[in-house]
């Protein structure tokens, strides 16, 4: 056995423990880093050929492993843009050059330009939400955009659909056809009336008057008529419009089942009217669901009117659901979906390549990136107002540190012993 070989083996052992101590130091330093994944050192032997009468000492080499797939604890915060993933998946973020990365660090905050940026300076990416929900590009980053909240600060959307149920009094008097609101005559008899607020293409509020009039008692039928309120004559009938304005008028007849006092199967379940007065093309069409209308022997009771669309008002908050849907909350209480956050994963998560800023790059060893939406397939759920803490266990790291220190000291003793033996050999010559 070579004394020099023994000393080199001891140096190899000290280098290995120094690497191990380096990973322990990184883990402890990043124990409070959001989404940090601990690293560890694996050891393997280096064996040199030996003869029967002589042993050649080899050494040890190290391989750093990353526990990226290990879930960290979820801690709740007070910010709605703080995001945590429970389960599989990574947020897709981009650097200032537009290069996409993967990360579990979800401490996002809206910056001065409207981007959702985490503490390392990476922008959250997602699919823009258009008329229809977006579809994920499963094998690439195409179609993803940096989420910018300011792009939707003063955007209005016209009303297109809503619901306006009510209970109609079964004992109400039947009104002749000529005197029903649908005839739009000054002699109209108003049995029941309610109004609903909608929005045109410019975001202006428009009030629509709904009239409910009993048309017959056997069978039980009611007429529902809709007019635009600002076209009323002194607040009543007839409703008129001076060119180039167009009169908004629509009537539908509802039929009720006397046994259930609900709409019959053959009865219309909605009323659809067109309002071209804002000049948009195509003209605004609004469909109001009436399927929950009832006819019980009690006073007229309008239900809760619900309609889509919103006026142009500034965004006051952003809500992010468990499915990754980003919804802008406006000052007037309106809500609008604007983005869909996507998640990414790879077949071998622990083989991702760590980069500065707690982000990762796919490698040949990690496999091809797959992109999808939260709560779909193998992807986990997003928690808003929460962060994933690091998966570092301080107690384990301190134990590793003590063990590494002891083993490093033992290797240094081997080196020191080899050095003493060399002194003995040198002194033999003297």
Q: What is the spatial distance between Cα 99 and Cα 236, in angstroms, rounded to a whole number?
A: 62
276-303 as b/e: b if 16+ CB within 10 A: ebeeeeeebebebebeebbbeeeeeebe
Do residues 272 and 216 share a domain? yes
Do residues 182 and 249 share a domain? yes
Band of pLDDT at residue 8, cut at 50, 70 and 90: confident
With beta carbons less than 8 A apart as the criterion, state whether 121 and 357 touch.
yes
Do residues 188 and 290 share a domain? yes
pLDDT of residue 426: 82
Do residues 345 and 398 share a domain? no
Burial of 86 by CB count in 10 Å (0-12 exposed, 13-18 middle, 19+ buried)? middle
Do residues 167 and 302 share a domain? yes
Averaged pLDDT for residues 137-162: 86
Write down which residue in 281, 307, 333 finishes a domain: 307
Q: What is the spatial distance between Cα 368 and Cα 347, in angstroms, rounded to a whole number?
A: 7
Mean residue pLDDT of the chain comes to 91
Q: Is the pTM of this model over 0.75?
A: no
pLDDT of residue 82: 95
Percent of the chain with pLDDT over 90: 75
Q: What is the spatial distance between Cα 286 and Cα 281, in angstroms, rounded to a whole number?
A: 14
Do residues 175 and 227 share a domain? yes
Band of pLDDT at residue 181, cut at 50, 70 and 90: very high
Number of domains in the chain: 3
Per the structure, the complete domain to which residue 14 belongs is given by: 3-67+391-429
pLDDT above 90 (res 56): no
Asked if the peptide bond before residue 244 counts as cis, ω within 30 degrees of 0, the response is yes
More confident residue, 148 or 334: 148
With beta carbons less than 8 A apart as the criterion, state whether 250 and 225 touch.
yes
Do residues 122 and 148 share a domain? yes
Averaged pLDDT for residues 184-200: 95
Q: Which residue has the tokens 């195409």?
A: 142
Do residues 208 and 295 share a domain? yes
Write down which residue in 287, 307, 327 finishes a domain: 307
pLDDT above 70 (res 328): yes
Q: What is the spatial distance between Cα 55 and Cα 2, in angstroms, rounded to a whole number?
A: 8
From the DSSP assignment, how many helices (H) and strands (E) are in the chain?
Answer: 2, 29
Do residues 86 and 224 share a domain? no
Averaged pLDDT for residues 407-417: 90
Do residues 168 and 140 share a domain? no
CATH code for the domain in which residue 246 is found: 2.60.98.20
At 219-272, the pLDDT tens digits run 999 999 999 999 999 999 999 999 999 999 999 999 999 999 999 999 999 999
pLDDT of residue 336: 82
pLDDT above 80 (res 334): no
pLDDT of residue 59: 85
Band of pLDDT at residue 109, cut at 50, 70 and 90: very high
Task: Write the DSSP symbol of residue 143.
Answer: T
pLDDT of residue 1: 54
Averaged pLDDT for residues 277-288: 96
Do residues 200 and 239 share a domain? yes
Do residues 151 and 167 share a domain? no
C-alpha R_g of the chain: 36
61: how many CB neighbours lie within 10 A of its CB? 14
pLDDT of residue 31: 93
Write down which residue in 307, 333, 354 finishes a domain: 307
The HSE-up count of residue 257 (CA atoms within 13 Å, CB side) is 11
């Amino acid at each position: 056995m070579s004394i020099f070989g023994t000393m080199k083996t001891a140096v190899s052992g000290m280098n290995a423990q120094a690497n191990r101590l380096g990973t322990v130091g990184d883990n402890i330093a990043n124990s409070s880093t959001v989404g940090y994944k601990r690293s560890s050192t694996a050891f393997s032997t280096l064996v040199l050929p030996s003869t029967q009468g002589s042993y050649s000492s080899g050494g040890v080499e190290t391989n750093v492993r990353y526990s990226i797939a290990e879930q960290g604890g979820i801690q709740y915060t007070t910010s709605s843009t703080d995001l945590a993933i429970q389960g599989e998946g990574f947020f897709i973020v981009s650097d200032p050059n537009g290069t996409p990365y993967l990360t579990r660090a979800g401490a996002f905050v809206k910056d001065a330009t409207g981007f959702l940026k985490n503490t390392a300076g990476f922008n959250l990416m997602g699919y823009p939400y258009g008329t229809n929900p977006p579809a994920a590009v499963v094998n690439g980053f195409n179609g993803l955009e940096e989420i910018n909240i300011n792009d939707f600060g003063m955007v209005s959307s016209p009303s297109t659909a809503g619901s306006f149920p009510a209970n109609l009094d079964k004992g109400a008097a039947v009104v002749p056809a000529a005197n029903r609101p649908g005839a739009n005559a000054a002699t109209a008899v108003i049995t029941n009336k309610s109004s609903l607020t909608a929005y045109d293409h410019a975001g202006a509020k428009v009030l629509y008057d709904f009239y409910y009039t009993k048309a017959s008692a056997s069978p039980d039928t009611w007429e529902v008529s809709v007019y635009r309120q600002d076209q009323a004559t002194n607040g009543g009938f007839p409703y008129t419009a001076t060119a180039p304005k167009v009169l908004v008028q629509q009537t539908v007849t509802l039929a009720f089942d006397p046994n259930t006092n609900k709409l019959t199967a053959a009865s219309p379940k909605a009323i659809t009217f067109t309002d071209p007065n804002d000049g948009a093309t195509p003209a605004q069409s609004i469909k109001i669901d009436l399927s929950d209308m009832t006819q019980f022997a009690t006073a007229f009771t309008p239900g809760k009117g619900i309609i889509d669309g919103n006026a142009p008002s500034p965004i006051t908050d952003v809500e992010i659901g468990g499915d990754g849907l980003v919804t802008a909350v406006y000052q007037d209480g309106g809500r609008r979906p604007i983005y869909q956050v996507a998640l990414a994963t790879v077949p071998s998560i622990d083989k991702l390549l760590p980069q500065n800023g707690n982000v990762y790059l796919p490698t040949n060893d990690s496999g091809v990136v797959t992109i999808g939406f939260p709560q779909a397939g193998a992807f986990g759920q997003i928690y808003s107002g929460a962060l994933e803490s690091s998966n570092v266990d301080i107690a384990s790291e301190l134990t590793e540190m003590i063990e590494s220190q002891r083993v490093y000291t033992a290797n240094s003793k081997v080196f020191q012993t080899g050095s003493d033996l060399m002194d003995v050999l040198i002194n033999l010559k003297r």
